[in-house]
C-alpha cells in the first residue's frame, strides 16, 4: 500500500511513490546511497515530543490509511486532545502510554526525504526514565529538545541537555512548542531562547538552533507558518534535512575492534568486526593491540567479495600476511596513525541505570569495544547535579545519577577518549549476578594505577573471598569442624 496523501502542500515525503511502483530496484538503490541522520526528541513531560513526531510523519505524507483510521478511533477512545486527532498515538504504542498520555519506552520511527534517511528516537520525559533517554541518545547525531512555551526551561530540560552534551551530540534544535497557546508571542520565544542559551553556555554543544512551533497544529514543523512573520529561520524539517554532520567525528584513525576470529578451514584465518572509524586497504601495515604485534593487510573481505577499501560503519573481515595472535576483544589499528590508549585504569563519566546503587570496590563486568573484562569503581571523584551542573562528593550512585568515576580493570584495555571516538570510548557496566546492564560510561582519559592501593584492594578482595568460602565450607561440611576465619580478620 502506498502512503495516502493526507494533506495538500508539501511534497517533501512520499516523493517516490511512482518510482516504487514502476522500478523498485531503482528506488532501493537510490535509498541505499542516502545520508543517514539519527536524532532524538527529548524534553519535559507533556512538552509534545510524541505529537511532534506524529506531526512530522503526518505532514510528510507517510501515514497509511489504516494507520490514520486506527489513530482516529483511538483518539476518540482516549480523548487526550479534546476530540481532535492525537498524532502522538503513532508513537506511543504501549497501553499504559496511551492511557496516561505519556511516553515510557524509547520508540523508534523511520522515514526519508529526497536527501537523507532518518531514524527518530522518541524518549520519555519523566525523570524515572532518564536511563531510557540516555540509551536512545547514545547513537544519535542530533537532539530535538522540546520546551513548553508556557513554562520555559524546566528541570528535565536541563537534565536532558546535559546528557545530550555528555554523549557528544553536537547539534541541538530547541523546539519551543505550544506557541499557539500564547498567540505566537515573539517576546516569549526570545525569553526562552535567552534562558536556554545562558544554561547551555556551560555545555559542550557547538550548534544550537531555535524554532517556534505548534506540533498539534503543524506550525513551522514541515511547512512555514503564516502566524510567525517575525521568524525568518528554517522549519524543523528544513533543519533536519540540511544540517551537516559529516565533520562531527573527531577521530579519523582506523579502529577495528575484533568481534570474532573466523577460521572455517586450515587455509583461512580472518578477523571480523565493524570499522569504528577511519579506513583500511590491502597492503596497509597494522598493529594488534594490546599485544603490539605488527603485520600487513592481505585482503579486506565482505560477503560480496574483496574490497579495495573499507570505511567506518562497514562490517568486514581482515586477513593478514603473518600469523599473529589476535583474539576477540583486541583492536586492530594502522601502524602509521595515532594509536589508541592502552591502560588498566580509566576516568569516565558514568550514568547509573540499576535499581541497586553502585558499590565502590565491588567487582562488575565491563564491556568495551567488544572486550569483556572484570573491574571495579575504585572511587567516585564527584557526582554531578544535572540541574545546576554543580559537583558533589558521593559514596554511592543511585538510579539515574551521573558521576565522574575512576575504574580499575583486571587486565589492560584499549580505548580512545569518548570525545574522539564514541565506539571505542564508551562502555557498559554489567552486574555479574543478574547479568543485567547496570550502567553506561563515557571514557575521559587514562589514569595511573596506585600500586599501594591496588595491593590493599587485592588483599581486601582475597580476604572477602576467604571469608565467603569459609562460610560455605562450615555450612555444607560441618563435620570438617572448620574454624570461622572472619574472627581472625577482626
**Quick one: fold of 17-242?**
Rossmann fold (3.40.50)
Q: Is the pLDDT of residue 14 over 60?
A: no
When pLDDT is cut at 50, 70 and 90, the band that residue 10 belongs to is very low
Helix (H, G, I), strand (E, B) or coil at 88: helix
Q: Is 287 helix (H, G, I), strand (E, B) or coil?
A: strand
pLDDT range class, residue 7, cuts 50, 70, 90 = very low
More confident residue, 137 or 305: 305
Does domain 255-334 fall under CATH 3.40.50.10540? My reply is no
With 0-12 / 13-18 / 19 or more C-beta atoms within 10 angstroms meaning exposed / middle / buried, residue 402 is buried
50 or 365, higher pLDDT = 365
Given a cut of 60, whether residue 93 has pLDDT beyond it is: no
- Band the pLDDT of 344: cuts 50, 70, 90: very high
pLDDT in tens, 274-292: 999 999 999 999 999 999 9
Q: What's the CA gap between 202 and 190, in Å, rounded?
A: 20
Grid cell at residue 92: 506511543
The pLDDT of residue 16 is above 60: no
- How far apart, in whole angstroms, are the C-alpha atoms of residue 431 and residue 438? 6
Q: Which of 20-34, 35-49, 316-330 has the lowest mean pLDDT?
A: 20-34
Full-model pTM: 0.78
Residue 227 pLDDT more than 80? yes
Give the 3-state secondary structure of residue 371: strand
Please check the confidence at residue 56 and state whether its pLDDT lies above 60: yes
- Residue 30 neighbours by CB under 8 Å, 6+ apart: 16, 19
How many Å apart are CA 485 and CA 221, to the nearest integer? Answer: 69
Which of 303-317, 336-350, 463-477 is the least confident region?
Answer: 463-477
> What DSSP state is assigned to residue 266?
T
CATH architecture entry for 341-449: Beta Barrel (2.40)
Indicate whether 453 pLDDT > 90. Answer: no
- Model confidence at 459: pLDDT above 80: no
DSSP characters over 112-142: E-SSEEEEEEE---SGGGHHHHHHHHTT-SE
Calculate the average pLDDT of the chain: 83
Neighbours of 243 (CB within 10 A): 19
- pLDDT tens by residue, 291-325: 999 999 999 999 999 999 999 989 999 999 999 99
C-alpha cell, 109: 520511527
> What local confidence, expressed as pLDDT, does residue 79 receive?
56
User: 3-35 burial, b for 16+ CB within 10 Å, e for fewer?
Assistant: beebeeebebbbebeeeeeeeeeebeeeeeeee
Q: Band of the pLDDT at 74, cuts 50, 70, 90?
A: low
Amino acid at each position: 500500500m502506498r502512503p495516502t496523501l493526507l494533506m495538500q502542500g508539501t511534497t517533501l515525503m512520499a516523493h517516490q511513490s511512482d518510482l516504487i511502483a514502476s522500478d523498485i530496484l531503482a528506488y532501493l538503490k537510490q535509498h541505499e546511497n542516502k545520508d543517514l541522520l539519527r536524532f532524538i526528541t527529548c524534553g519535559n513531560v507533556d512538552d509534545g515530543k510524541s505529537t511532534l513526531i506524529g506531526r512530522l510523519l503526518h505532514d510528510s505524507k507517510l501515514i497509511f490509511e489504516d494507520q490514520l483510521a486506527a489513530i482516529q478511533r483511538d483518539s476518540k477512545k482516549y480523548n487526550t486532545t479534546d476530540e481532535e486527532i492525537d498524532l502522538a498515538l503513532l508513537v506511543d504504542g504501549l497501553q499504559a502510554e496511551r492511557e496516561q498520555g505519556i511516553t515510557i519506552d524509547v520508540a523508534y520511527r523511520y522515514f526519508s526525504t529526497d536527501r537523507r534517511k532518518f531514524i527518530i528516537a522518541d524518549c520519555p520525559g519523566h525523570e524515572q526514565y532518564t536511563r531510557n533517554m540516555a540509551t536512545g541518545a547514545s547513537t544519535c547525531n542530533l537532539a530535538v529538545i522540546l520546551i513548553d512555551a508556557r513554562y520555559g526551561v524546566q528541570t528535565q530540560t536541563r537534565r536532558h541537555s546535559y546528557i545530550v552534551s555528555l554523549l557528544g551530540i553536537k547539534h541541538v534544535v530547541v523546539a519551543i512548542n505550544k506557541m499557539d497557546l500564547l498567540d505566537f508571542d515573539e517576546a516569549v520565544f526570545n525569553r526562552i531562547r535567552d534562558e536556554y542559551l545562558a544554561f547551555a553556555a556551560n555545555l559542550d554543544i557547538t550548534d544550537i538552533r531555535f524554532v517556534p512551533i505548534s506540533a498539534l497544529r503543524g506550525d513551522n514543523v514541515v511547512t512555514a507558518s503564516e502566524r510567525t512573520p517575525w521568524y525568518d529561520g528554517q522549519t524543523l524539517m528544513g533543519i533536519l534535512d540540511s544540517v551537516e554532520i559529516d565533520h562531527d567525528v573527531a577521530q579519523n584513525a582506523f579502529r577495528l575492534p575484533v568481534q570474532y576470529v573466523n577460521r572455517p578451514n586450515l587455509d583461512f584465518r580472518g578477523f571480523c568486526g565493524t570499522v569504528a572509524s577511519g579506513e583500511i586497504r590491502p597492503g596497509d601495515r597494522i598493529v594488534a593491540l594490546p599485544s603490539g604485534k605488527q603485520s600487513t593487510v592481505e585482503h579486506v573481505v565482505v560477503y560480496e567479495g574483496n574490497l579495495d577499501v573499507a570505511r567506518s560503519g562497514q562490517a568486514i573481515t581482515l586477513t593478514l600476511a603473518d600469523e599473529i595472535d589476535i583474539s576477540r576483544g583486541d583492536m586492530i589499528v594502522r601502524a602509521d596513525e595515532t594509536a589508541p590508549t592502552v591502560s588498566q585504569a580509566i576516568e569516565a563519566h558514568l550514568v547509573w541505570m540499576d535499581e541497586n546503587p553502585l558499590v565502590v570496590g565491588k567487582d562488575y563486568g565491563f564491556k568495551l569495544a567488544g572486550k569483556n573484562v572484570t573491574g571495579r569503581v575504585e572511587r567516585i571523584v564527584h557526582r554531578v547535579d544535572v540541574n545546576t551542573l554543580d559537583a558533589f562528593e558521593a559514596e554511592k550512585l543511585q538510579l539515574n545519577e551521573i558521576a565522574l568515576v575512576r575504574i580499575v580493570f583486571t587486565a589492560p584495555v584499549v580505548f580512545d577518549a569518548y570525545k574522539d571516538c564514541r565506539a571505542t570510548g564508551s562502555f557498559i557496566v554489567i552486574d555479574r549476578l543478574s547479568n543485567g546492564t547496570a550502567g553506561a560510561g563515557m571514557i575521559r582519559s587514562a589514569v595511573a594505577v596506585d600500586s599501594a592501593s591496588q595491593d590493599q584492594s587485592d588483599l581486601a578482595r582475597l580476604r572477602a573471598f576467604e571469608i565467603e568460602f569459609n562460610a560455605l565450607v562450615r555450612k555444607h561440611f560441618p563435620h570438617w569442624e572448620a574454624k570461622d576465619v572472619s574472627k581472625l580478620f577482626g
